[in-house]
Chain A
Amino acid sequence: MSETAEPPITFYRLQGCPYCERVTRLLTEYDLEYRSRFVEPMHSDRDVVKRVAGVRTVPVVVDENTGVTMAESANIVDYLESTYGEGDRPDAAAASAGGDA
């Protein structure tokens, strides 16, 4: 019996954190497979994030498709848009102008 592969994107996040939810929204919008790893509110309890990304902040995204590990939500959003977005499509400007709820 074959097993489905692990999702290539690992998303370190904090429950209810708006910066993380911004990343969640984009991952969902681009229909990307990801696994969520939840860490705790206390920065001192986030050794795993420090080890993976060198920082204790979340969100952090590790993308095995590209070998990229990234922190800071604005950077992650830029990265996801440029990697998985449809910026090259002629209708992208119109779509994104109307796409923010």
Chain B
Amino acid sequence: MPEFDVVELGPADHPEPGAAAPDFTRPLVTDEFWEDRTLSRLANETDGPTVLVFTPMTGSFLATYVWDELAERNWDDRAGRVVGVTASTPYGIKRFLDDNEYPFAFFADPSNRVAASYGVDHDLDGMAGISEPRVAFFALDDDRTVAGAWVATDWPDFPDYDALEAELGLE
């Protein structure tokens, strides 16, 4: 018998390719400052696809696994813009970016309502009152139409990154 347990999250009711991704405004955190930014505007002014990457909170190994992989694969050069979304504070995200020298920016969403609006929220057992995103990826074109998506159905669960890059249209 296996001595570990992968939790089945089951399918998520998330925006599928062809649908419009929900719009939102949250502080966008870089390694220098944070300011309120709106997704629709960000996507509109980005040349090439905007890839939204939902991960568990910064500080969890789950977030580090994903972001290490994306940094190693140079996603910052391969999409119009790669932007994280997680349920951490701006201070926590900034520390995470600084500590790991990631070339990415993150939307800070401590309420996790953005993940909920994308159908990818996950209530944590043993951390009362805390909800965070599942690992999920959405490639958006400039009017927020979903071009490709991948959403974890287990926890933990990580994508096959080669297949994911094809799904999201990264070359």
Determine if B32 and A47 form an interchain contact, defined as CB atoms under 8 angstroms apart. Answer: yes
Bound-state Cα–Cα, A3 to B46, Å: 13
Contact indicator A39/B35 (Cβ below 8 Å): no
Question: Cα distance A35–B36 when bound, in Å?
Answer: 8
Determine if A79 is an interface residue (Cβ-Cβ < 8 Å).
no
Q: Which residues of B contact A40 (CB under 8 A)?
A: 91, 94
Given A38-B27, A39-B33, A48-B33, CB of A3 within 8 Å of CB of B44: yes
* A3 close to B32 (CB less than 8 A): no
Please give, as numbers and ranges, the residues of chain B lying within 8 Å of A25 by CB-CB distance. Answer: none
B94 touches A36 (CB 8 A): no
- Minimum distance in angstroms from A36 CB to a CB of chain B: 6
What is the 8 Å Cβ interface bit string for chain A, positions 30-51, against chain B (1 contact, 0 not)? Answer: 0000011111100000011000
Give the Cβ gap from A61 to chain B, nearest Cβ, in Å.
14
- Does the CB pair B36–A36 fall under 8 Å? yes
Q: Contact mask B43-76 → A, CB, 8 Å, 1/0?
A: 0110000000000000000000000000000000
Interface positions, chain A 53-74, Cβ under 8 Å from B, are none
> Is A3 touching B41 in the complex (CB atoms < 8 A)?
yes
Which residues of chain B are near A3, meaning CB under 8 Å? 41, 44-45
Find chain B residues with CB under 8 A from A12 CB. 33
Complex interface: chain A residues within 8 A of B32 (CB): 39, 47-48
List residues of B whose CB falls within 8 A of some A CB: 27, 32-36, 41, 44-45, 90-91, 94
| Known interface pairs A38-B90, A40-B94, A48-B32; 13 further A-B residue pairs with C-beta atoms within 8 A, sorted by A's residue number | A3-B41, A3-B45, A12-B33, A35-B36, A37-B33, A37-B34, A37-B35, A38-B33, A38-B35, A39-B32, A39-B33, A47-B32, A48-B33
